[in-house]
Amino acid sequence: MGIYDLTVTAIDGSTRAMASYRGHTLLIVNVASACGYTPQYAGLEALYRKYKDAGLVVLGFPCDQFGHQEPGTDAEIQGFCTATYDVTFPMFSKIQVNGADAHPLYRLLKSQKKGALGLELIKWNFTKFLVGPTGTVLARYGPGDTPEAIEKDIRHLHEMGQWVNS
């Protein structure tokens, strides 16, 4: 099973096929509204706005598994993201990224690109996965890797023609 075989639930409750993102470069992030890394929403939105016409899509997946830092409902999360950071990139319903109830998308991402010491475990909010237009996980970034710091990798992919605008 690949990434494009999966479905996800958008923050408005609608179902979205990951296949709809085929041909795009994706930056998939587990996010939280009350985390020390929450200001990264601004950088994620900036990346999305800068590269979306070239085919980059940032996908935000709220997660409350780390220090109860995403306690709100989907509607509250959406309201916070819009009002505080003017988030326009796609947001999804709250999920789990670790454990027996981890969302299949995160099981796949973690299996394709392990973290520190070869572990699959997501250590905290704002772990990021860069996925190429064919669905291959290209890179995994820790929570401390800011959107500004990883822009060089995104820019490099774009300049090398590693993604297309579909």
Of the residues 32, 35, 44, 87, which is catalytic? 35
Evaluate whether 41 touches 84 at the Cβ level (below 8 Å).
yes
Checking if the pLDDT of 30 tops 60, the result is yes
User: What are the phi and psi torsion angles at 129 (to 5°)?
Assistant: -120, 130
pLDDT of residue 25: 93
- To the query of whether residue 81 is one of the catalytic residues in this protein, the response is no
Residues 6 or more apart from 51 whose CB is under 8 A from it? 25, 154, 158
Banded model confidence at residue 164, pLDDT cuts 50, 70, 90 = very low
Banded model confidence at residue 116, pLDDT cuts 50, 70, 90 = low
Residue percentage of the chain with pLDDT more than 70: 93
pLDDT of residue 166: 35
Select the more confidently predicted residue: 84 or 114.
84
Q: Which domains does the chain have, with CATH numbers?
A: 3-159 (3.40.30.10)
Checking if the pLDDT of 159 tops 80, the result is no
Residue ranges of alpha helices (H) inside the chain are: 40-51, 74-85, 104-112, 147-159
Q: What is the pLDDT of residues 53-100, one digit of tens each?
A: 989 999 999 999 999 999 999 999 999 999 999 999 999 999 999 999
